[in-house]
A and B are shown apart, each in its own frame.
Chain A
Amino acid sequence: MSQGTETHHFRRLITIWVVLAVALDLVFYFAVGPHVPPGKMTSSASGAQFDFTVLFLIALPVMVAVWVYWAYALIVWRGSRAGAMEPEGGPKARGHLGIQVGWIATTTVIVLGVFIFGTLELIVPAGAGGGEGPTPIWTPTSHDVLPVQVIGQQWAWTYRYPTFGGFESRQLMLPVDTTVEFHVTSLDVIHSFWAYQLGVKADANPSQDNIAFTTTEQLGQFTVRCSELCGLWHGAMYNFGRVVSKAQFFVWAQSTQRQSAVNTKLLPPFSYTYVPDANGADGGLYPDNVDPYSKVQQYGATSPSK
Chain B
Amino acid sequence: MALDMRESIGADFSGDTAPPGPRVRRLPKWLGPHLGRALVGAVGGYALGHFLGNSIASGYENVQGNGQNDVATVLALSIGVVGWLVGAGMLDYPVAKIFGREPLPPTPSKSWTRYFGPALDHKIIGLQYTVVVLLFFFTGGLLAMAIRTELLSPTNHLLGPGTYISVVSEHGTIMMMMASSIVIGPLGNWLVPLMIGSRRMAFPRVESFSLWIFAAGYLVILTALPLGGFPTGWTGYAPLQTQATAGMDAYLVGFAVIGIGMICAGFNLLATIINYRAPGMTWDRVPIFVWSVLATGALLTLATPTLVAAGLFGVLDRTAQTAFYVNEHGGSSFLWENLFWFFGHPEVYIMALPGFGIVAEIMPVFTRKPLFGYRIAAAGMIGVSLLSFFVWQHHLFQSGINPDMRPLFMLTTELISIPTGFIFLNTMGTLWKAKIRYEVPMLFALAMSFNFLIGGISGVFLSDVPVDVTVHGGFFVLAHFHYTIMGGLVFAFFGGLYFWLPKMTGKTMSERLGKWHFWTMFIFFNFTFFPLFLVGLLGQPRRVFEYAQNLQTLNDISSVSAFCLGASFIIFVVNFVWSMFIDPKPASRNPWNSRGLEWQTPMPVPPYNFTRIPVVLADPYHYGQADAREVADLGPRTLALTGAVASEAPSAVGSHETTGEEGSGDPRPPIA
Contact = CB atoms under 8 A, between A and B. Distances in A.
Given A100-B376, A210-B400, A235-B546, A229 B231 contact: yes
Given A47-B466, A55-B467, A87 B434 contact: yes
B365 to A, nearest CB: 12
Given A73-B432, A190-B399, 14 more contacts: A38-B539, A47-B466, A62-B457, A67-B453, A94-B374, A108-B418, A118-B410, A118-B464, A190-B333, A201-B398, A205-B399, A206-B327, A225-B544, A229-B542
A78 B438 contact: yes
Most A C-beta atoms less than 10 A away, residue of B403, B461, B538: B403
A247 interface: no
A59 B460 contact: yes
Interface string B539-553: 101111111100000
A288 B343 CA distance: 32
Interface residues of A, number: 97
Contacts of B36: none
A55 B545 CA distance: 31
B438 A80 contact: yes
Given A189-B243, A205-B399, A107 B421 contact: yes
B400 A227 contact: no
A197 to B, nearest CB: 8
Given A51-B464, A202-B400, A107 B435 contact: no
23 contacts: A55-B460, A66-B453, A70-B428, A73-B434, A74-B446, A77-B433, A78-B436, A87-B623, A93-B372, A94-B372, A104-B376, A115-B410, A115-B414, A129-B466, A133-B400, A190-B237, A192-B398, A201-B473, A207-B328, A227-B472, A234-B165, A235-B546, A236-B161
Given A88-B433, A94-B371, A192 B376 contact: no
A99 B430 CA distance: 13
Contacts of A93: 369-370, 372, 432, 624
B466 A79 contact: no
A292 to B, nearest CB: 13
A132 B435 CA distance: 54
A125 B465 CA distance: 12
Interface in A122-147: 122-123, 125, 127-138
A205 B237 CA distance: 11
A79 B433 contact: no
B240 A48 contact: no
B94 interface: no
A227 B428 contact: no
A127 B470 CA distance: 13
A37 interface: yes
Interface in A174-197: 184, 188-190, 192, 194, 196
A127 B542 contact: no
B400 A87 contact: no
Interface in A8-60: 9, 36-38, 44, 47-48, 51-52, 55-56, 59
B539 to A, nearest CB: 4
B177 to A, nearest CB: 18
Given A95-B374, A131-B400, A201 B469 contact: yes
A267 to B, nearest CB: 19
Contact of A87 (B161, B369, B422, B548): B369
Contact of B473 (A192, A200, A208): A192
A124 B546 CA distance: 36
Contacts of B517: none
A210 B367 CA distance: 54
Interface in A71-101: 73-74, 77-80, 84-90, 93-96, 99-100
Interface in A209-260: 210, 223, 225-236
B544 A234 contact: yes
A208 B468 CA distance: 21
A20 B326 CA distance: 55
A111 interface: yes
Contacts of B543: 229, 234-235
Interface in B468-495: 468-470, 472-474
A114 B446 CA distance: 28
A85 B372 CA distance: 18
Contact of A203 (B238, B240, B400): B400
A63 B329 CA distance: 50
A135 B370 CA distance: 55
B404 to A, nearest CB: 6
Nearest to A190: B237
Nearest to B336: A190
Interface of B: 161-162, 164-165, 231-233, 235, 237-240, 243, 326-329, 333-334, 367-376, 397-404, 406-407, 410-411, 414-415, 417-418, 421-422, 424-425, 428-429, 431-438, 446, 449-450, 453-454, 457, 460-461, 463-470, 472-474, 537-539, 541-548, 621-625, 628
A130 B465 contact: yes
Nearest to B375: A95
Nearest to B435: A79
B396 to A, nearest CB: 8
A130 B404 CA distance: 12
Contacts of A137: 403-404
A227 B546 contact: no
A203 B231 CA distance: 18
B469 A208 contact: no
A201 B470 contact: yes
B251 to A, nearest CB: 13
Given A115-B410, A227-B474, A127 B403 contact: yes
A111 B418 contact: yes
Most B C-beta atoms less than 10 A away, residue of A70, A131, A227: A227
A229 B624 contact: no
Given A94-B371, A100-B376, A130-B466, A77 B399 contact: no
A189 B474 contact: no
A216 B194 CA distance: 64
A158 B649 CA distance: 74
B424 A66 contact: yes
A194 B541 contact: yes
A235 B551 CA distance: 14
A199 interface: yes
Nearest to B406: A122
Given A52-B461, A133-B401, A138-B403, A228 B161 contact: no
A136 B401 CA distance: 10
Top-5 shortest CB links A-B: A89-B624, A235-B544, A227-B473, A210-B400, A89-B625
A2 interface: yes
A74 B425 CA distance: 16
A276 interface: yes
A79 B432 contact: no
Contacts of B433: 2, 6, 9, 77, 85, 87-88
Most B C-beta atoms less than 10 A away, residue of A37, A78, A202: A37
B435 A85 contact: yes
Contacts of B233: 229
B414 A111 contact: yes
